[in-house]
Amino acid sequence: MMTDIQNRLAILEKAKKLKLLILDVDGVLTDGKLFFDAEGNEYKSFHARDGHGIKLLRQTGVEVAVISGRKSSSVALRMKNLGIEHVYQGHENKIAAFNEILQKTGITHEQAAHVGDDLLDLPIMIRVGLAIAVNDANFAVKQRADWCTTLPGGQGAVREVCDFIMQAQGRFDEVLNAYLVR
């Protein structure tokens, strides 16, 4: 049985190898709540720090992709604003989208991480190099994750993941210094 220190070191080693971060949307990039107006228009709330973390991570050379079981124009708009090219919506069976992203990018399973919160995320989580669950994820997802964030989905958990990957890869100080010299 691994000690907490051994487990943390194993997670850091996995994070060092990452070239791709795959995110779920509802419950990860959002708090999972769905808002609809009287006409059926859907609204979602995204955390600004998550978006900035994604932009910073992408600047270090790590690709970011989104695979969601639901389809939403607000997700398409937010991902476009963040410059995310690999956006797959309406994929309840997420494996086909996952395999297509790997094929398009040439990235291996071991070089990919996935952040999820619910059972639909498990098929990808069990295949990636680093499986991550947000703090308020379903218990079965948390049990199968390599690491769980301290923050809940939609409340900065994605930024926590981005910062962790940049730190593991020795790139966080470089990103931070760009803000300190201004």
Q: Which residues is 23 bridged to in the sheet?
A: 66, 115
- Mean pLDDT, rounded, for 112-126: 97
Q: Are 175 and 56 within 8 A, CB to CB?
A: yes
Q: How far apart are CA 47 and CA 49, in angstroms?
A: 6
Number of other CB atoms surrounding residue 17 within 10 Å: 15
**25-78 pLDDT tens trace:** 999 999 999 888 999 888 899 999 999 999 999 999 999 999 999 999 999 999
Q: What is the DSSP letter of 120?
A: G
- State the distance between the two ends of the chain, measured CA to CA, in whole angstroms: 47
Predicted local confidence at residue 182, as pLDDT = 66
Contact predicate 113/21, CB 8 Å: yes
Average pLDDT value for residue range 144-173:
97
Long-range Cβ contacts of 139-143 (<8 Å, 24+ apart)? 141/116, 141/117
Residue type for position 19:
K
pLDDT value for 101:
98
pTM: 0.95
26 is in an annotated binding site: yes
118 in a known ligand binding site: no
Task: Enumerate domains of the chain plus CATH numbers.
Answer: 25-105+158-177 (3.40.50.1000)
How confident is the model over 145-158, as pLDDT tens digits? 999 999 999 999 99
Residue 2, pLDDT score: 72
Handedness of CA 33, 22, 85, 99 (dihedral sign): negative
The string of pLDDT tens digits covering residues 131-141 is 999 999 999 99
Tell me the pLDDT band of 11, cut-offs 50, 70 and 90.
very high
- pLDDT for residue 181: 80
pLDDT in tens, 71-117: 999 999 999 999 999 999 998 889 999 999 999 999 999 999 999 99
3-class DSSP state of 110: helix
